[in-house]
Structure 1
């Protein structure tokens, strides 16, 4: 992870933590005002805002590979959690707002933290997932050394084998496949053999026939 991406991820985590804290305190106070004991009031905002985080991670994790029908439930949870959190924060702002502040303004301000929490969680998951996909995996073991080029002695052995295979009647292409070399290499090795004319003995035979009396 590069420094730019690390800074972006750190910033999104800090913003998400701040948005979660603001929404948490508002929802906890609303839970206490609604009759939930102070010892249990902290659980209500944890459930409401926690489902936003979990559902966002589930949606992003399932999106690349899952079918659309497989993601409808995480999307439903995400939309429901966001709607409840925004509505509850706005309701708390109306109940606890200062009289000098209009209710609409108080509700709009209180709705910002849950919306930011939803957006920033989605962004954080996207950042971490895309960085992991772009980073090539490191090999488990030591990097293998590059294969050494064939030695000169090995080339001589291959040439001798190629000549023997050619004498056995194998074609150049078949010899190249057998030795794992290019057909042009085999042709270069066997050039002296191919260049020997089959009629080299013909003049001798002809001269021998002509020397015999008719």
Structure 2
């Protein structure tokens, strides 16, 4: 087994990801609808007109969706790029959970304890948060067809071409040299790993071995 085989990240087969995404979308829609109706009613009770109350849950739960997508999209850039979407994600989830819990307390049936009603009502926004993140992760790990040997590799903005042009059969030393060059340019280990198609732990091991 080659080092590339040991370090490469196994991708999720398309049919597995497709089935999982379909299920997560259905769950997310159910969670969003329950949270939406609860927050809409809460907004109405807070004095927002009925014709405008539906915008409140879209703002609150919309933050969860957009922030989750942003976190996953910016993850290869490192923590400095993701701290703001993570902050929005935490704030949005906190607002949604709190709003659903408050609504459960003010609108719960007397036969059910307030803390129990609040706990039950907090489930939909938490599920929405978890399912949204899971869906995005699954769709980014779908198996892609291997690139053609004679086709140029796809480079994102600011990426330099590989250190050698010998094709896919690049040696370990060549990849280490390029990893060191990319690190000098300020790339994170995760971004280097994605560019070289190895696991981030492999990149970290290369740098540890290079340290005297």
Q: Could you say which residue in structure 2 is the equivalent of 1:27? A: 39
TM-score normalised by structure 2 residue count: 0.62
Q: CA deviation at 1:137?
A: 5.7
What is the DSSP-based 3-state SS (H/G/I as helix, E as strand, rest coil) of the residue aligned with 1:80? helix
Q: Could you say which residue in structure 2 is the equivalent of 1:57? A: 69
Q: Could you say which residue in structure 2 is the equivalent of 1:9? A: 21
Q: Could you say which residue in structure 1 is the equivalent of 2:125? A: 114
- The one-character-per-residue Cα deviations of 1:41-86 (angstroms, maximum 9, x if unpaired) are 00000000000000001001111x2121111100000000000000
Q: Could you say which residue in structure 2 is the equivalent of 1:66? A: 77
Q: Could you say which residue in structure 2 is the equivalent of 1:86? A: 97
Flag the structure with more relative contact order, 1 or 2, with Cα contacts below 8 A and sequence separation at least 6: 2
Superposition RMSD on alpha carbons, in Å?
1.8
Q: Could you say which residue in structure 2 is the equivalent of 1:136? A: 145
Distance in 1 (alpha carbons) for counterparts of 2:132 and 2:77: 20
Distance in 2 (alpha carbons) for counterparts of 1:41 and 1:138: 50
Distance in 2 (alpha carbons) for counterparts of 1:27 and 1:2: 36
Higher Rg:
1
Indicate how the Cα distance of structure 1 residues 138 and 39 shifts in structure 2: closer, same or farther if over 3 A, else same: farther
Distance in 1 (alpha carbons) for counterparts of 2:74 and 2:30: 27
Consecutive unaligned residues in structure 2, runs of 5 or more: 1-12, 149-212
Indicate how the Cα distance of structure 1 residues 101 and 9 shifts in structure 2: closer, same or farther if over 3 A, else same: same
Consecutive unaligned residues in structure 1, runs of 5 or more: 140-214
Q: Could you say which residue in structure 2 is the equivalent of 1:96? A: 107
50, 57, 60: which one aligns with 1:48:
60
Q: CA deviation at 1:138?
A: 7.0
Indicate how the Cα distance of structure 1 residues 69 and 11 shifts in structure 2: closer, same or farther if over 3 A, else same: same
TM-score normalised by structure 1 residue count: 0.62
